[in-house]
């Protein structure tokens, strides 16, 4: 198709995700008369020149272009060029050397994917490099000569245990031996400890469409468990935390159930019963149940605890299940284990990292929720409120998480009436430098602290840049456990707990994996038990059709009304920030979440 009308724009409108806002174009064009549209119709000569002006006038940064970009690349630029195309899943010819990754559909998830691809080719790149150098040619220049460093670190089994932990092991060794040969025992990471306290067992349901062989699926499940040590790990309570024991192998429970009623209700009932057990019982956790409603419609339920996986693990589980099924139960190749990740992190606790946190958190305190209205005798109830809004236009060089973090910082500051607030955020640590980290099934994440000192004499855009830059710096030092940071880099009480926790999520991996025989395996749903004390989770989902904010807590921390108001106010503030980026913060009129 040849364009008939060319309308020049100073800036191409984008949604908060960074993608082109096509709805904006449709609305604008509907207001044009025929004569106005005619005035934008080019002559033959103008049409011939339009392709060149398209690039020169600043449209570079979007996927749709009349002609492929042809440029001279250096060797490193060409390598980065191909990696960007692969990470974004777009044609290389649509990417120019002056492009900004985050203006052509990139986000933090794409950045993590890019790190994995680049490190597999020997490039010593981290997520912080991508956030600091967003333009292709600049990133390429920075990466010249930066190769993956093959560091040595101690992975001797049991070497991370202190004397007290070793004494506990001697007391419980008989229990562990009954459940399988123990190849290693080590402390849980800081993130695992928090996840075990806040979440119980969970179940994930994978949809299977088409005819499959149950015995072959059983073998595939056993192969995947054998390939990933985190799935052969059990957890033991120890003082205020936990230990994890890795078995060489385990018996993998697999059950096949047929049902004539709703798959959804059957699976929900099963999941509700499977999550009642204690996650830290010292017994294997993983189990599989395949529920079939017909020969062509099934759900595969997998039980886990959040201490065994993170968001990036979903796709790995799907890929490995499909591969093992198609290969007749042959185990996928050995992967880097989560225990190696834990040992690697333990060996990279440096003074400079503690100094960063000491400077960043000097004079700070964990921001506390104001508390729910007191009603004596009222039982504690779960609170889960959701708000949704269409995606607003994006801000230049500001990702969705940075924008939402900035909005939440302002909402939180007004809520607690303090311009110095500290909250936690789930961040991936897969770019720590460990080879093969991108292929680990395990919680390669951490809860890192963001400290915001609001200067209301600055603009909205200044605040967004502050949160963006702080994220970049924190990602360089984000592998330390929170108790270590509190003990060595703050004057906080040792029993300080996280209160407000932000988690940014992207769209689920909905790509069906083909199974031999014509069936497909895809992600469906998940459920977890929660044990929140005085924490409030702010879960942000940037989807293709809009931005969704969940506030998840208990009635002890805030009421449903308060949680709903906070969720809506975050979205209102995001919208306001995108509409008035140059406005001084002190002049903003924001609704109160009362």
Which pLDDT score, from 0 to 100, does residue 25 have?
59
Q: Tell me: domain 68-150, CATH 1.10.1200.10, correct?
A: yes
Which pLDDT band holds residue 71 (cuts at 50, 70, 90)? confident
Which pLDDT score, from 0 to 100, does residue 50 have?
43
Query: Which of 574, 360, 362 lies closest to 470 in space, CA to CA?
Result: 360
CA distance 585 to 575: 14
Our CA angle for 356, 471, 532, nearest 5°, is 95
**C-alpha dihedral over 378, 383, 388, 394, to 10 degrees?**
120
Residues 6+ apart with CB under 8 A from 106: 18, 84, 87, 88, 114
Ordered by start, the domain boundaries in the chain are 68-150, 163-340, 347-517+530-587
CA distance 44 to 50: 10
Burial 155-190 (b: 16+ CB within 10 A, else e): beeeebbeeebeebbeeeeeebeebbebebbbbbbb
Taking residues 484-490, what's their average pLDDT? 92
Strand, helix or coil for residue 335: coil
Taking residues 207-227, what's their average pLDDT? 95
CB 8 within 8 A of CB 386: no
CA of residue 33 relative to chain centroid, distance: 46
CA of residue 289 relative to chain centroid, distance: 27
Which pLDDT score, from 0 to 100, does residue 126 have?
84
Tens-digit pLDDT profile for residues 429-465? 988 888 888 889 999 999 999 999 999 999 999 999 9
Neighbours of 355 (CB within 10 A): 13
Tens-digit pLDDT profile for residues 232-283? 999 998 888 899 999 999 999 999 999 999 999 999 999 999 999 999 988 9
Instruction: Catalogue the E-assigned strands of 306-444.
Output: 382-389, 420-428
Helix (H) / strand (E) element for 587: namely: none
Which pLDDT score, from 0 to 100, does residue 38 have?
57
Which pLDDT band holds residue 65 (cuts at 50, 70, 90)? very low
For the ranges 28-42, 46-60, 539-553, the lowest mean pLDDT is seen at 46-60
**β-bridge partners, 184:** 246
Neighbours of 50 (CB within 10 A): 15
Taking residues 541-561, what's their average pLDDT? 90
Which pLDDT score, from 0 to 100, does residue 375 have?
57
Q: In this structure, are strands 420-428 and 287-292 parallel, antiparallel, or unpaired?
A: unpaired
Which pLDDT score, from 0 to 100, does residue 152 have?
64
CA distance 101 to 590: 32
Taking residues 493-522, what's their average pLDDT? 88
Look up residue 427 and give its two tokens. 């961040």
For the ranges 164-168, 231-235, 282-286, 320-324, the lowest mean pLDDT is seen at 164-168
Query: Which of 543, 541, 508, 545 lies closest to 523 in space, CA to CA?
Result: 508
CB 262 within 8 A of CB 289: no
Which pLDDT band holds residue 416 (cuts at 50, 70, 90)? very high
Tens-digit pLDDT profile for residues 326-367? 998 777 777 889 999 999 988 888 888 899 999 999 999 999
Tens-digit pLDDT profile for residues 105-116? 887 778 888 888
Query: Which of 438, 428, 437, 442 lies closest to 230 in space, CA to CA?
Result: 442
Phi-psi label, residue 371: left if phi above 0, alpha if psi -120 to 50, beta otherwise = left
CA distance 466 to 459: 11
Tens-digit pLDDT profile for residues 114-166? 888 888 888 888 888 888 888 999 999 988 877 766 666 778 888 888 877 77
CA distance 229 to 309: 11
Whether residue 47 is predicted with pLDDT greater than 50 in this model: the reply is no
Q: Which CATH entry fits the domain spanning 347-517+530-587: 3.40.50.2300, 3.40.50.720, 3.30.559.30, 2.40.170.20?
A: 3.30.559.30
68-150 and 163-340 agree in CATH topology: no
- pTM exceeds 0.85 for this model: no
Which pLDDT band holds residue 28 (cuts at 50, 70, 90)? low
Which pLDDT score, from 0 to 100, does residue 42 have?
57
Q: How far is CA 185 from CA 160, 230, 306, in A?
A: 8, 12, 18
Strand, helix or coil for residue 97: coil
Whether residue 40 is predicted with pLDDT greater than 80 in this model: the reply is no
Which pLDDT score, from 0 to 100, does residue 61 have?
37
For the ranges 30-39, 195-204, 368-377, 524-533, the lowest mean pLDDT is seen at 30-39
Tens-digit pLDDT profile for residues 564-591? 999 999 999 999 999 999 999 999 866 5
**C-alpha dihedral over 79, 81, 87, 91, to 10 degrees?**
-130
* CATH topology (fold) of 163-340: Chloramphenicol Acetyltransferase (3.30.559)
CA distance 228 to 556: 39
The winner for highest mean pLDDT among 93-97, 473-477, 487-491, 520-524 is 487-491
Mean pLDDT of the chain: 84
Q: How far is CA 555 from CA 25, 56, 371, 538, in A?
A: 44, 56, 9, 15
> Percent of the chain, pLDDT > 90?
49
């Amino acid at each position: 198709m040849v364009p008939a009308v060319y309308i020049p724009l100073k800036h191409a409108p984008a949604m908060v995700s960074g993608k082109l806002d096509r709805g904006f174009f449709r609305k604008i064009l509907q207001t044009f008369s025929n004569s106005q549209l005619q005035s934008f119709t080019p002559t033959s000569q103008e049409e011939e020149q339009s392709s060149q002006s398209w690039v020169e006038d600043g449209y570079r940064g979007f996927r749709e272009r009349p002609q492929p970009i042809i440029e001279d690349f250096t060797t490193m630029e060409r390598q980065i060029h191909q990696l960007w195309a692969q990470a974004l899943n777009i044609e290389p010819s649509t990417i120019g050397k002056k492009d900004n990754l985050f203006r052509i559909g990139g986000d933090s998830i794409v950045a993590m994917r890019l790190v994995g691809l680049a490190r597999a080719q020997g490039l010593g790149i981290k997520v912080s490099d991508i956030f600091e150098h967003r333009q292709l040619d600049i990133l390429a220049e920075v990466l010249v000569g930066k190769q993956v460093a093959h560091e040595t670190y101690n992975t001797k089994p049991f070497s991370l245990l202190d004397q007290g932990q070793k004494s506990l092991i001697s007391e419980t060794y008989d229990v562990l031996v009954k459940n399988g040969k123990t190849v290693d025992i080590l402390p849980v990471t800081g993130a695992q400890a928090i996840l075990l306290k806040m979440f119980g067992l969970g179940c994930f349901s994978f949809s299977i469409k088409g005819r499959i062989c149950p015995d072959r699926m059983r073998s595939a499940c056993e192969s995947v468990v054998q390939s990933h040590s985190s799935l052969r790990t059990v957890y033991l309570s120890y003082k205020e935390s936990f230990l994890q024991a890795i078995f060489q192998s385990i018996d993998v429970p697999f059950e096949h159930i047929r049902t004539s009623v709703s798959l959804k209700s059957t699976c929900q009932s099963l999941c509700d019963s499977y999550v009642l057990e204690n996650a830290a019982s010292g017994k294997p956790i993983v189990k599989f149940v395949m529920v079939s409603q017909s020969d062509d419609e099934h759900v595969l339920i997998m039980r886990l605890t959040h201490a065994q996986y993170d968001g990036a693990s979903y796709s790995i589980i799907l890929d490995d299940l499909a591969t093992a099924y198609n290969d007749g139960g042959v185990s996928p190749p050995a992967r880097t284990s989560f225990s190696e990740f834990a040992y690697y992190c333990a060996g990279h606790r440096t003074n400079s990292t503690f100094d960063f946190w000491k400077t960043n958190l000097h004079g700070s305190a964990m921001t506390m929720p104001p508390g729910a209205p007191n009603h004596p005798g009222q039982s504690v109830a779960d609170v889960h409120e959701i708000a949704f809004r269409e995606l607003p236009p994006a801000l230049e060089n500001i990702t969705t998480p940075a924008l939402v973090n900035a909005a939440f910082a302002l909402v939180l500051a007004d809520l607690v009436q303090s311009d110095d607030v500290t909250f936690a955020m789930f961040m991936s640590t897969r770019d720590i430098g460990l080879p093969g980290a991108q292929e680990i099934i395990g919680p390669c994440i951490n809860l890192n602290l963001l400290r915001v000192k609001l200067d209301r004499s600055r603009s909205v855009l200044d605040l967004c840049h502050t949160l963006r830059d702080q994220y970049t710096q924190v990602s360089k030092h984000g592998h330390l456990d929170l108790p270590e940071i509190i003990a060595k880099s703050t004057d906080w009480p040792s029993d300080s707990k996280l209160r407000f926790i932000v988690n940014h999520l992207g769209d689920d991996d909905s790509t069906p994996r083909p199974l031999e025989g014509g069936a497909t395996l895809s992600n469906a749903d998940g459920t977890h038990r929660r044990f929140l004390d005085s924490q409030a989770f702010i879960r942000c989902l940037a989807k293709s059709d809009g931005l969704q904010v969940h506030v998840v807590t208990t009635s002890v921390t805030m009421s449903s009304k308060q949680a709903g108001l906070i969720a809506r106010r975050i979205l209102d503030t995001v919208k306001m920030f995108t509409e008035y980026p140059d406005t001084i913060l002190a002049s903003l009129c924001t609704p109160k979440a009362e």
